[in-house]
Structure 1
Amino acid sequence: MLDNIQALLATTLFSLYERPFTVGEVLLVPLLLIMGWWGADKLAHLATFRLRKSGASADSVHLFKRIFYIIALAVLAITTLDVLNVPLTAFAFLSGAIAIGFGFGAQNIINNFISGWILMWERPIRIGDFLEVDGARGSVEAINTRSTRIRRIDGVHMLIPNSKLLENTVINWTLIDYLTRTSVRVGVAYGSDCTLVADLIRQAADEQEHILKDSKPVVIFEDFGDSALIFEVYFWVNATVERDLRLIRSELRFAIDRIFNAHKVVIAYPQRDVHIDGDLVLRREARS
């Protein structure tokens, strides 16, 4: 039985460049690849676990994992060929033809692939950053080989090609820090005490815990509007995502409304004066 198995494994299946390949060698290839990739995957997980425990950023861990897998795949391929005694020169012509065809047929894929490596290496965009791309806002969840996955503020995931993030204008709200300046506008009725209104808005802003105290809120008398005196308060906050800004602005509006009501300041509403040229006659119809 054992002799039959050995004879079967020693049977030649095909030859490549005068090099015969037996059944045993063909069966050995997937075994080597599976075991090698399993070992590389375990080492990658162990290394990334150590990096996370040491305090490395998510981008550094992601970049290390990508480089490790590429090196592991190259070593595994060379080792497999060496075990089979296949010279690398045997694939020179074949690999050249494949490279030429691949280059012509997959320009966009190669462009996005290289762009992904540039994003991970230069880190203009990092995992966790809050971006604004083509009017859509969201947080970066992953930078993959071909595309970057972004979760919008409404929970929808977007897959954006990596080349688009390099070739187009992208607003990164958290590239350096989480400091963001925003504002709230409010209109009060004509006849209001403008100095009092500005003081009340400033007081409401100072009372908000999320508004930074290092940079004092600035209240601007913006304009004489059609129906109101327009005021706008500018302030700085530490905001990670857009919904934080919306909540902070909402809390400030609640505070302004509350303090205006306490001091009898009227928030204006649209008004229109209608002027009629000529005589206006009102007729009252008698009812039977």
Structure 2
Amino acid sequence: MMDFLNKTAFSLSATQVITWGQIVYALLFLVIAWFLSRLMAYLVVKKLLSSLRISADSRAVIQRVLFFVLLILVLLTVLTYLGIPLATFAFISGAVAIGFGFGAKNIIENFLSGWILMSERPIRINDVVEINGLIGRIMTVGHRSTLIKRNDGADIVVPNSQVLESRLVNWTLHDPYIRTSVRVGVAYGSDVQKVRSVLLAVMSEHEWVQKEPEPVVVFEDFADSALLFDVFFWVSMDSGREMRLIRSDVRFLIEQKFKDAGIVVAFPQRDVHVNFTNPQQLAGLSERSHD
């Protein structure tokens, strides 16, 4: 084994050779240093920065940058140990870059997109986003992909390039508040001012509805079978409750309040008018009704 490790693997010059032992030791050092760099970056972010008021996405950026800085130092240390100057790679860097670029185009594109996402911060960890009709919460922004957890618990892995290029809606970019609405129809003849008062009372009683901005009741339309009202209100996404469940609770409360106030929720109705132009048809219908 010692004879093998002392054998020359390749020569850099007439006086500088690289043995198999140096290569083995360098690889072992790289593997150990890789895991130690990840551990050190994690511990620095967790221990030193956890006491500071730094957001989760900022901590992720610091951890990633620290890991790559440590990794570069490790590579420079290995090259120094092997006695390989950086100028040695100058003549092959162009060919390697072209070949690597064509062979790993998508990987490089997603990697660079991840850094752009973390630097520009159009999305952050724990943001609620909508992409391609899917609504979920950002869990991590990795080197290659972004992990989104949907409301039903499913984890969606989206390549960073798609996140950057697609039409993404970030519901909580600047603040956690979003506006939603519930529509209800009441029967014709209802007291519209009473309907408005009941809807506002429901909004003031519901625990998830924000008091600021104030809820707004809009008399939307005179529909075929109902007077339509829309109530717009704001909800905090930090509540941890799904939006459709909040709207469901509001509808339950509206139905109960309308019942107590004697307001009838409208249902489809049709008035049928029969016009007999022939008197004989009317007489025949009357005779059949008597039979």
TM-score of the aligned structures, taking structure 2 as reference length: 0.87
Conserved 8 A contact 1:174-1:240: no
Q: 1:198 to 1:90 in 2, by over 3 A?
A: same
SS of residue in 1 equivalent to 2:242: helix
Q: 1:7 to 1:103 in 2, by over 3 A?
A: closer
| Deviates most, 23-32 or 7-16 | 7-16
SS of residue in 2 equivalent to 1:210: coil
- 2:11 counterpart residue number: 15
Conserved 8 A contact 1:130-1:240: no
- 2:136 counterpart residue number: 138
- Tell me the alpha carbon deviations over residues 194-219 of structure 1, each in whole angstroms, 9 at most, x when there is no partner: 12111111112111122222332221
Conserved 8 A contact 1:138-1:241: no
- 1:60 counterpart residue number: 58
* Structure 1 residue corresponding to 2:207, chosen from 199, 206, 209: 209
* Structure 2 residue corresponding to 1:251, chosen from 249, 253, 266: 249
CA distance in 2, matches of 1:13, 1:238: 64
Conserved 8 A contact 1:81-1:87: yes
2:261 aligned with 1:228:
no
SS of residue in 2 equivalent to 1:52: coil
CA distance in 2, matches of 1:66, 1:145: 9
Shift of 1:94: 2.5
Structure 1, unaligned runs of 5 or more: none
SS of residue in 2 equivalent to 1:53: coil
CA distance in 2, matches of 1:54, 1:28: 39
* Structure 2 residue corresponding to 1:159, chosen from 157, 172, 195: 157
CA distance in 2, matches of 1:212, 1:22: 70
CA distance in 2, matches of 1:13, 1:167: 47
- Tell me the alpha carbon deviations over residues 31-65 of structure 1, each in whole angstroms, 9 at most, x when there is no partner: 22133224323321221112123232111111112
- 1:44 counterpart residue number: 41
Q: Which amino acid aligns with 1:27?
A: V
- 1:76 counterpart residue number: 74
| Deviates most, 74-83 or 100-109 | 100-109
Q: 1:103 to 1:23 in 2, by over 3 A?
A: closer
TM-score of the aligned structures, taking structure 1 as reference length: 0.88
- 1:125 counterpart residue number: 123
Structure 2, unaligned runs of 5 or more: none
Conserved 8 A contact 1:129-1:172: yes
CA distance in 2, matches of 1:13, 1:101: 25
Conserved 8 A contact 2:208-2:239: no
Q: Which consecutive segments of 4 or more residues in structure 1 shift more than 6 A?
A: none
- 1:193 counterpart residue number: 191
- 1:237 counterpart residue number: 235
SS of residue in 1 equivalent to 2:137: strand
Q: 1:42 to 1:167 in 2, by over 3 A?
A: closer
SS of residue in 2 equivalent to 1:24: helix
Aligned-pair identity in percent equals 46
CA distance in 2, matches of 1:51, 1:257: 50
| Deviates most, 7-16 or 190-199 | 7-16
- Tell me the alpha carbon deviations over residues 154-201 of structure 1, each in whole angstroms, 9 at most, x when there is no partner: 112212222222223211110011111111111011121112111111
CA distance in 2, matches of 1:169, 1:135: 10
